[in-house]
Structure formats: C-alpha cells, structure tokens
Structure 1
C-alpha cells in the first residue's frame, strides 16, 4: 500500500510538468507503422517552447505537427477541466483518419488508471467527451461555441481548393476562440493566394521587423525539411550538378552547409516530386511559395495587381451589362467569368465553376445570379467547339444553348500561347473582386507550364490540371476584350505574333 501511495505521489509530481506528460504518457505509430512512445522531435519541441496565442506554421512535409498538436490537445483535455479542443481537416476523409489514427489511438493506449480518473463518457466517430467536461472534436468546419485550442490542418489546401470554406473558418471558427485562447494553423504552401499565404507573409514581415506581437497577431513559425535528421540518404548516387549548385547558394542564405547524405536525399526526392519539391520540402520561407509560382504564366502580372491593389472589393455596377465568358466541359469542368466594362475599366466581378452538369444547370446559375445580384447580361462568349455537332442530336452545343435561351458568340480559335500573351497584356488593366473571384484568381495564378521530370525544366506548353478551365475561359476574354469594348466591331485585337482580321460573320 505504501509503495502504491509513493508511486501515486511520484506520478502526481511528474504529471504536473506538461512537457514530461507529453513525452511519457502517449503512444503513436511511427512512419513504419510501429507502436512507439510519443516523444517530441526537434521541430515539435521548438513549437512547444515558443508557441503564441495565434500560431501560423509553414513547414516541410511529415515533420509531425498534426500528431504533436493532437497529443497536446488530448493532454489538455485530460488534465484541465472544461477544455474544448477542435481540429479542422481539409476534407472529411482526413478528419476521420486524424481522429482514428491520432486522437483515438493515443487515448485507447493510455494507462488504465488515467482513463479511470478522466474517462471518455462519449466516444464516437470524430469526438471524445471526457468526464471532466473537456472535449476533443475533429471535423471539417466549426461555427458556434468556444474553443480553448483550435487547430487547422493543411489550411493552404483549404484556401486553394475550398475558398468559401476558408472564409467560413476565418469568420466562424476563428471567432469562436477568444483572444486569450490558442489557434494553430499549419500547412505546406499551396500558391501565393488565400488566407494562409497572406497570414504567412504578414507574420513573417513582423517577425523580421522584430515587432512586438499582440494577443491577436499571428506568430510565424517556419520548419524546413533539413530540421529532420531522417531526411538523409546513405546509398551512393550521382547528384546532378544543378543540385550541388542549389546547395551552394542555399548554404550562403541559411548560414550552414549540407552533408552529402542530405544532398542525395534531396536529389532523389526531386526525381519524384519534380517542380513540387520546394513546395513540399522548402529550405526557406520564400522558397515554399517560390516554387508554387515558378513556371506559372502570369506571375509578374499578379505581383503588379496585388502591388497596385487591383484585387479588392469591386461591386457590381447596375448601369453596366454583365458579359459572361465560358469554357464548357463535357465530362469536365465548366468555368464562367463575369465581367463588366465600367467606363474604360474592365472589372471582373464574379466567377463560377462546376463539373458534371449540363447547359440547363448553368442557365439556372445565371438566372439565380440575375435575381439575387441584379445582373443584366450582355454577351455570352464561349469557345470555338460550341460549333461542333453532337453525334447523338445532330445539333451544335450553340444551337442547344439557344433552345435554353442562351445565345453565344464564339471566340476565334487561336494558338494557346497567343492567347496567353493576350492575357498578359490585359491583366494589368483589370480589376478583380477579391471575394467573388477568389477561386478563379487562385487558379489563374497557379496556371503553369508542364514540367519535364527527365530534364528538370519547364516545357513550353501549359499543364492540364484543375487550373486549366479558369485559364482557358479567361484567355477567350483576353482575345475578345477589344471586340467587346468596341461594341462588336469587326476587328479583334490579337497578340502581335498573330494579328488577323476577324469578319463580323464569325461572331454570329
């Protein structure tokens, strides 16, 4: 009995130390699937020692921050009464996996005496509710209630793929955390757009300026791939000279040299990831976002747009008609830009994209916007393949659209690179509505050249991916902008490399 009492007193003494608890009470699975005791690695310990009330974490992949934060939250629930913790994953599958593999796994392997002291009275998919009034919930969004700790996993992916949900997180979930409680945002980079990028840049600038942070300021944490000692390769390989040159430049930037085993690991990772290597395994904060835009077609133009604040609040002007520019997919996405000419200024006020739907669906979308937002439509402009006849009906898609009350003009067929040059010429003079065009703007920024894995260079053709439809429809806009501006003149201004006259009949 005395030994049990002494053991209990000893545990109580040790358990008063949060860091000791984190490194001694919890079990996880490692990268090889083995069950091991959780102990903080270098990056996790640095975050634990230097966390702020608002934390934004830009990181290399697989440094274990989600695991650490979920163990941290589980511990907070067990040892602090009435502590509500929430984790937001970027999709439902990830939410289920994180709960099952991180929170639930660690809880199930706790010592029995601890589970008896603070047991889970509710244990269901996505939620643990404890007898002391604390809870840990994993989902894809939260609104309402209050949180002591909130964690957003892979927030950049949410901003990129689900901008509406990102806005809901910022306006809803973040507002459920008081200024004295804690938020963790962690992610790899995903392009130079969205809340994650903006928060990173703002907090990085404050960090470098040595500014004192308030409770509501985001503290910047950066964790490069070379913090992990596991990112090495002992097997002898030939490292390309361009990789050696990269490390020589990097050594000057970060003030340290890199081992041959680190260079080998990086070279092999680059073979697999290609141009994504810097995004997934950045060495510097700038590099994380640099690779996200390297190879993109409109990098310089968007830098100017942001610099001159041309991506901002742009209200619909009831006095001007709204032109729509389409890229129509059959078994693919359909993308629609909504633009107005206000005075001499092109204003892009809206963007819509969906997939797997017919023309009638998109006609309903336009009708709803007309009712809800007051749009008065002008020209509907679509691609040249509107003229292709469907085998099943014998009608063109243009004719099918007319049957629904949608009357399309058809953009001329031009080489893609000529259209890209037209976009480059148009972008500096355009205004974008920051909220309604967020998805389209993000895709325009990410539209890039295809990557040649074999030679480690960019190809001269665009990569066909999720950005293509937004980029293609905007290309039709750029090609025909002067024609729209002049009120359907017979001449379309094309890039200098492909000047030609377009007869009026081509538009009917």
Structure 2
C-alpha cells in the first residue's frame, strides 16, 4: 500500500471528506490493478476503482492453507493478499446479474464471493448482501473466516487502530455471528440458511447441490422465497458441485446451460433475470498436477483420458493424469462417481451417476438401445389412459399416465409434487385430459390408500380434521373416476422384480416423462454399511415415489376392455357436483 509516512490522520480526513478539487483530480487519474498509490489523490483514485480493490492484492487479505505444511496439520494457515485466481478471473469476466456455477472443488468461489459482497457493502450505502449455506454453522464459518477476517485485516487507515478515540472511516454498528452492519453507510452482510424477507442486492447460495440433496424442501424454499428477493439490477450467484440428476440445482443449472448456449450461438444478450451458466472443470486448474512417477495408470485410465481429450479438444498432460488418478484413489476411495461429482471433466459428466446398486439400470439401457424411450409418443384418444399412483404421507406424490396399445404399454406422462392436496393432483390430471383428450381408465392407488388418516386442510365444524382414506377423498373429489386399489406385496423387492420382468413391454415419452425417468435411473438399493456393497432393500429417498408408483402397474394393473359410451373426454361432459373436501397428501 502507500508508504507509512503518507498514512496519517490527514489522509483519513481527506478520505472521509475530500475537497471537490481532490476528488475531481482523483477521478481523472487512470488506475490499473498494479498501481501502488503514493499520494492522497492516488489513494482516493485507487479506492474508487472496483478493479483495483479486487485485483490489486493491496486491500483484502484471506486465510489459506500452507502448501508446504503437512496435509494433516490443520493449524498451518497463511495470511495472504487476495488476488483472484484463473477460474475466479474467468468468472468475473462473464459476471451477469444471475449466475449459476457448476465447478470442481477447491477453486475458491466462496472466498471470492465473500470478498465481492464485503467490497460492495463497504463502498455502497444501504446495501444488503446475503450468503446462504446448508447449515447455520457453515454459514457462520463463512462470515467469520472470510468476510469478517477480510474486514478486520483492512489497512488501518480504513478501520483505525486499537485504542483510537475517533471513529475510523469504516466501522461496525452491529457484529454478531450471523450479520455485520456497517455504521458508516448502513450496509450489511448476513449469513443464513434461507433469506425470505426484505431485499437483497447481492445473494450467494453456497453448495446448492448439497442443500437440495439433503434438504429438498429447503432448496425449494430458496428458489421460491430467497431468489425473488434480489431486484432485477442485483446480483445472484448459485454455486455448487453436482449432486446427481435431480433437485433444484440440477434443474436451474441445466436450464441455464441450455439458455447460455443458445445466447452464445445466436449472439443475443441474456436478459437480466436469465441465468448465466459457468462451468469450471478440474483440468483448467493449474495446481491439479502430480509427479507421474508416483502413480500407476491402468488401461481403463488411459482410455478415459483419450476419450476426455476428444471431448474437450486438448491434451491432458501426464502430470494432470497422475493427479486425477491419485485424487480418485486416495481422496475419493477409488469411487469414480464421486470424482465425476467433485472434479467433473464436462457438465454432462458432473450429472452422471454410476449404475452400481440401482434397480432398473439394465432395463433402462435396453429400452434406450431398442428405441423404446422416444422424444414423443402419440397421445391416443381411442384407448383408455390409466394412472398409477404413489401417495406420500409426509413425502411426495407421483403419478404415471399410461396407455395399453397392443403388446406395448406406453407411459405418456408423469406428475409429481410435494406438499399438495388431492385437489391439486385431480386438477393436474384434468389439465392433461383437456390437453390431450384422454379418456380415463382406472386410477390405480397403492394398498394403503384405503387406510383412514387425519387429513390436513380438512376441518369440518368443531369436530376438527376429517378422518378419511385417500380413496374416499379422491372419490369425493371426482365421483365419476374409477379407482382400483392395488394389492399389497409381501416384500417391496417382489414388486420391483415384477416391474423388471415386464419392463420389455414398456415405452416412455422422454419429454413428458423426463423427471420420472431420472427417478427410475437413480432408484437404488440400500448400502450395507457393515459388509459393504448393497442390500436387497430399496433406499427410500426422493426417487422412491416415482418407482413406487410404477410398481402399481406391475402389481395390479386392471385393463379396461372398452370405454363406455358415456365416458367422454374431460371438458365435453357436465361435471358432477363436488363435495368440499380437500386433504393434504403429505
């Protein structure tokens, strides 16, 4: 920074209330990141420059692990000037109002954004900056070790010295474990697990993929409650490693990638509220190298790197290959899928999942090879359209729509949602019927649909919540629909095997059933934590509902030989009076 003799009380006064002529002179100066200010005017000019503040390394400091220290020594920390690395500079060059980052690990994006938010709050009045993490503990660490650390290590001419009587240029009016508020301009930086109220001019969602994998409802709340708090001119950054082909991060990132590719191909600018996709693979990081003499590569490894080179159009050095294999074996325990997620080569690989331990991998692969998963299937009005349900009690609800056409059973639609009542699903099916002219066959419900439960959102006078079964509630909502209760199987695996046995007759509309197919791909077995490998029991997770709904087809499909003459497509008949019953399907 400036020479010690220049950093004095006079300069602080100048910075706080600089005369107009000095400000004019400062703003007229040309400032570059490598400039070292030697005068009051130069210092004001530098502090007025965002590029100088972020890129010079002369203002902010961060903590980093000592590269020369032992790997197990957690106390080996260096305090170094913050200078954006290659990946961070690339991101800043393409910074947009809405940003999604899919990345390899340890590229420093959380640190970068913490510095950006701190800088914005320090130099702009009445701003609100927020950082969301998957736990309050992790959020607090980000505030303490990245935001507060950088603030507390600013030059003393900005934050004053210990024992100083007068207020410094920058000072805190509030300092807690979750928020700091600046007294000099009323701007603030806070951390949380969600941010619903108020306006946030800068919002960062850290590791959104992990939030979605562990807390899908929290991820949904972030999308519906936190993201809308950022105004059109504000900046949002969602960053994460991948966590499979499902969840809010997957949906936002894949849409953003497609839209960004279209914009780049056509030369169009992204709209302010459109997401800009950023991808940072492991092979772009210069530090990810290792001595090839320390690592043995298998023929499968060599084949992988040859395929990688053909995809990215560049060579992967022996040092990079050695680093990748060593990291996979030592850090990820030889798990290729973890490497795809934590250190992706391409965006497609980041979402890729191993088929080990999944129930329907072979069946889906055969369906694709045989052309039974197609972009679109015809929606016939001359045959019955049946539905197959899994009704969640505390989980989601999934519904497959299918038509029997000769020896084929065609799945032409898939519906899923969480925390919605039965009326919601009836309306969705009405919409599908109106759109495609469907004539309903049987609506196949799981065996527990006849069990009576207290239903949410179903208060009746003073008696409290109504006690009904799902079948009763649905029949009351749609008296003219045919419902069929599928018998229970002794073990779930018997139902799964029934699906696998008849899967060769299944056809899928890949567009209408996209989400359902992802769930079938990821539907997996429980891991055996004692002996390793997998058990013969299914894992209950966000993919279960779609698979359980599909089981109803194999376990108890009830065909309809003919459609009664009076059963017209929805919208062409008079609707019977509905009883005012809802029922939350949770």
* Counterpart pick for 1:12 among 31, 39, 44: 44
Displacement, 1:69?
A: 0.6
User: Structure 2 matches for 1:112-261, cutoff 5 A?
Assistant: 112-115=156-159, 116-131=168-183, 132-193=185-246, 194=248, 195-207=251-263, 209-213=265-269, 214-234=271-291, 236-261=294-319
Question: Number of matched residues?
Answer: 433
Matches of 1:322 and 1:209, distance apart in 2:
41
User: Structure 2 matches for 1:327-342, cutoff 5 A?
Assistant: 337=397, 339=399
1:28 equivalent in structure 2: 62
* Counterpart pick for 1:72 among 98, 116, 120: 116
* CA distance 1:176–1:85, shift in 2 (3 Å): same
Displacement, 1:130?
A: 1.0
User: Structure 2 matches for 1:346-361, cutoff 5 A?
Assistant: 349-350=415-416
Matches of 1:468 and 1:95, distance apart in 2:
28
Contact 2:256 2:274 in 1 (8 A): no
Displacement, 1:255?
A: 2.1
Displacement, 1:11?
A: 2.9
User: Is the partner of 1:35 in helix, strand or coil?
Assistant: strand
1:499 equivalent in structure 2: none
Contact 1:191 1:289 in 2 (8 A): yes
1:285 equivalent in structure 2: 347
* CA distance 1:322–1:81, shift in 2 (3 Å): same
Unpaired stretches in structure 2, ≥5 consecutive residues: 12-37, 67-75, 160-167, 379-384, 405-410, 420-447, 460-465, 477-482, 562-586
Matches of 2:319 and 2:300, distance apart in 1:
16
Matches of 1:146 and 1:26, distance apart in 2:
26
1:420-459, Cα deviation, whole Å (9 max, x unpaired): 454675572799899xxx7x8764442257999xxxxx99
Displacement, 1:45?
A: 1.1
- Of the structure 1 ranges 199-208 and 421-430, higher mean CA displacement relative to structure 2 is found in 421-430
Matches of 2:154 and 2:372, distance apart in 1:
54
1:170-225, Cα deviation, whole Å (9 max, x unpaired): 33322222222211111122223343343333234325524412222222211111
1:480 equivalent in structure 2: 555
Matches of 1:249 and 1:364, distance apart in 2:
56
Contact 2:195 2:222 in 1 (8 A): yes
User: Is the partner of 2:494 in helix, strand or coil?
Assistant: coil
1:61 equivalent in structure 2: 105
1:77-109, Cα deviation, whole Å (9 max, x unpaired): 111112211112233333233223322232233
Matches of 2:453 and 2:138, distance apart in 1:
31
Matches of 1:370 and 1:255, distance apart in 2:
60
Taking structure 1 as the reference length, the TM-score comes to 0.70
Contact 1:207 1:220 in 2 (8 A): no
1:389-418, Cα deviation, whole Å (9 max, x unpaired): xxxxxxxxxxxxxxxxxxxxxx7x638555
Contact 1:77 1:134 in 2 (8 A): yes
User: Structure 2 matches for 1:456-471, cutoff 5 A?
Assistant: 464=539, 466=541, 469-470=544-545
Displacement, 1:322?
A: 9.1
2:565 equivalent in structure 1: none
Displacement, 1:75?
A: 0.9
Matches of 1:65 and 1:110, distance apart in 2:
20
Matched, 1:82 2:135: no
- Structure showing greater radius of gyration is 2
* CA distance 1:376–1:229, shift in 2 (3 Å): same
* Counterpart pick for 1:367 among 442, 455, 466: 455
Contact 1:348 1:430 in 2 (8 A): no
Matches of 1:179 and 1:306, distance apart in 2:
39
* CA distance 1:2–1:158, shift in 2 (3 Å): closer
Matches of 1:148 and 1:352, distance apart in 2:
30
Displacement, 1:68?
A: 0.5
Displacement, 1:295?
A: 8.0
Unpaired stretches in structure 1, ≥5 consecutive residues: 311-319, 329-333, 354-359, 387-410, 453-457, 487-508
* CA distance 1:304–1:426, shift in 2 (3 Å): closer
Contact 1:326 1:336 in 2 (8 A): yes
User: Is the partner of 1:414 in helix, strand or coil?
Assistant: helix
Matches of 2:395 and 2:221, distance apart in 1:
23
Matches of 2:527 and 2:321, distance apart in 1:
22
Displacement, 1:25?
A: 2.2
Matches of 1:306 and 1:30, distance apart in 2:
50
Contact 2:200 2:230 in 1 (8 A): yes
* CA distance 1:66–1:168, shift in 2 (3 Å): same
Contact 2:375 2:510 in 1 (8 A): no
Matches of 2:275 and 2:387, distance apart in 1:
39
